[in-house]
Amino acid sequence: MISKDTKPNPIDLICLSHLRWGFVFQRPQHLMSRFARTRRVYFIEEPVFEKRDEAVMQSAVCPQTGVVVVTPAIPEIHQGKDVQPIIRRLLNRYMSREEIERYIAWFYTPMALEFTADLTPEAIVYDCMDELSLFRGAPVRLCENETQLLRKADLVFTGGVSLFEAKRKSHANVYPFPSGVDVAHFAQARTIRNPASDQADLPRPRIGYAGVIDERIDLDLIDELSRRRPEWQVVMIGPIVKIDLGSLPRRDNLHWLGMKDYRDLPRYLRAGMQRFFLSR
């Protein structure tokens, strides 16, 4: 959040994301929170479909960071149809109302090109944190849109070295920008006195993972690990998306704890995990 003693930067930042602000607190949230300390930051989410008569642009300020979370709310009658022209109109009106005139456009998804043709940013950044085309249910136009975005972008970041190797020939100004660890946040695990209660009765040793649990997780590997090491408690923390809950392996020493608040993750480290792999 912009400090009262800090002069705001006159250039705003428009972030166009395929991830929702209130989902897992990861790379987009970390970066946008930092940018919001010195300038206005608008985080444009994908639309939601609701029982309403007309489309509106909803917005709310994140009280912890000052980031303005903007969500197109569209009548559910349009679900399954091409709503990009609707989002385009909503975004244009919103930016005019907010007097957003000088800004940087920061893309996390190439699909946002379909409703941002009227934008005139000072610069375009494409932060390619994942190879989205490999995700289950990826839009058919994603690769075509990414090619266009790479032509338009002034600067390209990649979420890791392998992505950098894959994109480096597609743009003259691409840099590997691997995600890191929020050291100050997770260092709290060393001093927290009230570890997570839902692990209190688990025996040791414990091994765990925190992050999104989706089709990228090797469930067979997790199952085999649990089978071969029944004396280990395998703890999996995170939202389960795009996979059938019935496909999750089940063993007495394998624990699916679901999504936890980012603020509580240090408590889970404190709960006695001897090894803990943290995604992104």
Confidence of residue 4 (pLDDT cuts 50, 70, 90): low
Over the stretch 151-202, which tens digit does the pLDDT of each residue have?
999 999 999 999 999 999 999 999 999 988 889 999 998 888 887 888 878 8
Phi, psi of 231 (to 5 degrees): -80, -10
The DSSP secondary structure of 132-166, one letter per residue, reads GGGSTT--TTHHHHHHHHHHH-SEEEESSHHHHHH
| 142 close to 110: Cβ distance less than 8 angstroms | yes
Phi, psi (5° rounding) for residue 130?
-145, 160
Q: Report CA dihedral (120, 111, 75, 63) to the nearest 10 degrees.
A: -70
- E strand or H helix that includes residue 28: helix 27-35
pLDDT recorded at residue 197: 83
Going 137 to 138 to 139 to 140, the CA torsion angle's sign is negative
The pLDDT score that the predictor gives to residue 274 is 46
What does the DSSP assignment read for 90-101?
HHHHHHHHTT--
pLDDT at 280 over 50: no
Question: Taking the domain 12-176, which CATH number applies?
Answer: 3.40.50.2000
67 close to 36: Cβ distance less than 8 angstroms: yes
pTM exceeding 0.75: yes
**Domain segments of the chain: what residues?**
12-176, 183-278
Please provide the distance, in angstroms rounded to a whole number, between the alpha carbons at the two ends of the chain: 23
pLDDT of residue 7: 64
**Residue 265 has which token pair?**
């993750």
